């Protein structure tokens, strides 16, 4: 079975929602839609308070190439434009929309297969860009940019990331189990847009139902393949996945396009299908809500802008003993500082940890056990990077290759001395970016 070459860990899966269906969460009365929902320039609002908006109407436009517009998930009225706190507690601009409950959404007529077949690659890329689609695996890189292959480069493989190596999360798993055919349609669109000859969908072995569903969906498509991957974190890392599926190594500091590959998440492929066939911009996504004490965990289809509190209430409420709520998975997700923060395009899951699992243990000295070195999937030396960061030797960190770090957290996870290796590495990267 295929996997990546160096490093990696096997954290407990805790995928309690692996059999749960996708449940549509009811539309809340008020949505707070963040303007910065992708890596890149925040969107610029084009509505003002009092405006009536319809489902699918653009409410904020992309002011730059690396940016993505934002669309209204409901019919309703713009109440105000005001800052809202992000999961990290930073105030950022948002649009508050009051849902018009009496005026339900009427879906636009879908495109027929013939109409889709008639779209040229450039038209597909434009439609993707004008649907606000970003990478839904968590990085939220504007998909339009990724699909626009630079001059002189060509794409051989489209790799669809269904690894979902993060513990606890099952949103991609659920999507593959229920919408395999549409993921395949999305994948074919990405291949058409980029001129790729073949597509590979990589899924980790711990999702047998998803593998079965995807294999059934690609049967008859000779250009598509489903590959079962050995379970190992961080398989879903772009460079790790490319190596696992094609045996190619992305040169340090380069983009995947150098190896003739582009990688998109299964949820992104689905969003592209939805945008092109159903003419529906990206305004909702599947969010896994789980945690040892969550009473009704599940995979919920959530409207962009729904507050995290509403989502958790839908899953049975926030448990009394909760110490930490993570937006995303426990390895790379971010701890949420306030429940008022809304769901964004990049929110893959909410994990509620009890207080006993939320606190870090006291850090001890580095005993040079070398575990961080052996688990680093990028071949870095986290112990050394932390020592360099401790004495603010930022340039030495750069020479040690810190910018290659993908922040997967294997080092901190495995350190028997509970040293905050990744914290210090992130600090070093931040200092180096300032320069």
Residue from 29, 104, 108, 364 binding other proteins (CB under 8 A): 364
Q: Rounded distance, CA 380 to CA 389, Å? A: 14
Q: Does 391 bind other proteins (CB under 8 A)?
A: no
Query: What are residue 58's DSSP bridge partners?
Result: 71
Count Cβ neighbours within 10 Å for each residue of 262-285 and write b for 16 or more, e otherwise. Answer: bbbbbbbbbbbbbbbbeebbbbbb
Q: Which stretch binds other proteins (CB under 8 A): 1-9, 91-99, 206-214, 271-279?
A: 1-9
Q: Which of 21, 29, 195, 416 binds other proteins (CB under 8 A)?
A: 416
Q: Which stretch binds other proteins (CB under 8 A): 50-58, 74-82, 100-108, 418-426?
A: 418-426
Which of 62, 214, 315, 353: binder of other proteins (CB under 8 A)? 353
Contact present, 228 and 1 (Cβ < 8 Å): yes
Q: Which of residues 41-100 bind other proteins (CB under 8 A)?
A: 88-89
Contact with other proteins (CB under 8 A) among 346, 409, 428, 429: 409
Rounded (5°) CA angle 103-107-109 = 145
Site for other proteins in 324-343 (CB under 8 A): 324-326, 328, 330-339
Burial of 14 (0-12, 13-18, 19+ CB in 10 A): middle
Assign residue 391 a region: left if phi > 0, alpha if psi is -120 to 50, beta otherwise? alpha
Residues in 151-170 at the binding interface with other proteins, rule: CB under 8 A: 167
- Applying CB under 8 A, the span of 117-125, 191-199, 278-286, 355-363 interacting with other proteins comes to 355-363
Considering only residues 80, 252, 296, 392, which one is a binding residue for other proteins as defined by CB under 8 A? 252
What is the edge-to-edge ordering of all strands in the sheet holding 52-53?
A: 30-34, 91-99, 76-85, 52-53
Residue of the chain from 42, 281, 377, 428 that contacts other proteins (CB under 8 A):
377
Residue written as token pair 């305004």: 283
Query: Which listed residue (210, 388, 428, 429) binds other proteins by CB under 8 A?
Result: 388
Q: Give yes or no for residue 187 binding other proteins (CB under 8 A).
A: no
- Could you give the CA distance from residue 256 to residue 135 in angstroms, rounded to a whole number? 15
Residue 72 has a CB neighbour count (10 Å cut-off) of 29
Nearer of residues 84 and 143 to other proteins, judged by Cβ: 84
Whole-number minimum distance, CB 250 to other proteins, in Å?
5
Q: Name, in order, each residue with C-beta under 8 angstroms of 113's C-beta and a sequence gap of 6 or more.
A: none
Q: Which of 39, 260, 401, 431 binds other proteins (CB under 8 A)?
A: 401
Which of 187, 322, 344, 348 lies at the binding interface for other proteins (CB under 8 A)? 322
Please tell me the number of Cα atoms within 13 Å of 407 on its side-chain side.
15
Closest approach of other proteins to the CB of residue 338, in Å? 8
């Amino acid at each position: 079975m295929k996997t990546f070459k160096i490093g990696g860990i096997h954290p407990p899966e805790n995928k309690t929602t692996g059999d749960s269906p996708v449940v549509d969460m009811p539309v809340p009365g008020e949505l707070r839609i963040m303007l910065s929902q992708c890596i890149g320039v925040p969107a610029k609002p084009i509505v003002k308070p009092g405006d009536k908006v319809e489902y699918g109407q653009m409410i904020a436009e992309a002011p730059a190439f690396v940016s993505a517009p934002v669309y209204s998930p409901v019919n309703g009225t713009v109440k105000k434009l005001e800052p809202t706190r992000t999961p990290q507690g930073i105030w950022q601009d948002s649009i508050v929309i009051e849902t018009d409950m009496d005026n339900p959404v009427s879906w636009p007529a879908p495109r027929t297969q013939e109409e889709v077949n008639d779209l040229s690659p450039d038209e597909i890329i434009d439609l993707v860009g004008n649907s606000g689609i970003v990478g839904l695996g968590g990085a939220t890189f504007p998909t339009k940019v990724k699909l626009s292959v630079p001059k002189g480069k060509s794409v051989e493989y489209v790799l669809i990331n269904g690894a979902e190596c993060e513990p606890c999360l099952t949103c991609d798993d659920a999507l593959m189990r229920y919408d395999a055919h549409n993921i395949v349609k999305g994948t074919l669109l990405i291949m058409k847009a980029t001129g790729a000859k073949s597509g590979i969908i990589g899924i980790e072995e711990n999702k047998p139902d998803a593998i079965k569903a995807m294999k059934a969906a690609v049967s008859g498509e000779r250009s598509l393949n489903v590959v079962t991957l050995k379970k190992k974190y961080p398989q879903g890392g772009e460079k790790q996945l490319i190596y696992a599926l094609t045996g190619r190594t992305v040169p340090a500091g380069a983009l995947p396009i150098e190896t003739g590959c582009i990688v998109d998440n299964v949820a992104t492929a689905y969003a592209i299908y939805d945008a092109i066939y159903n003419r529906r911009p990206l305004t909702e996504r599947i969010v896994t809500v789980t945690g040892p004490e969550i009473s009704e965990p599940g995979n919920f289809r959530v409207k962009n802008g729904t507050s995290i509190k509403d989502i958790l209430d839908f899953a049975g409420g926030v448990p009394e003993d909760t110490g930490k709520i993570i937006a995303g998975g426990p390895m790379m997700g971010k701890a949420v500082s306030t429940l008022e923060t809304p769901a964004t395009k990049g929110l893959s899951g909410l994990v509620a940890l009890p207080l006993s699992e939320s606190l870090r243990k006291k850090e001890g000295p580095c005993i040079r056990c070398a575990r961080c070195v052996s688990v680093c999937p990028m071949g870095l030396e986290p112990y050394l990077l932390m020592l360099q960061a401790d004495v603010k030797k930022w340039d030495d960190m750069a020479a040690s290759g810190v910018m290659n770090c993908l922040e997967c957290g294997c080092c901190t996870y495995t350190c028997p001395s509970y040293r905050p290796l990744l914290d210090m590495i992130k600090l070093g990267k931040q200092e180096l970016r300032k320069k």
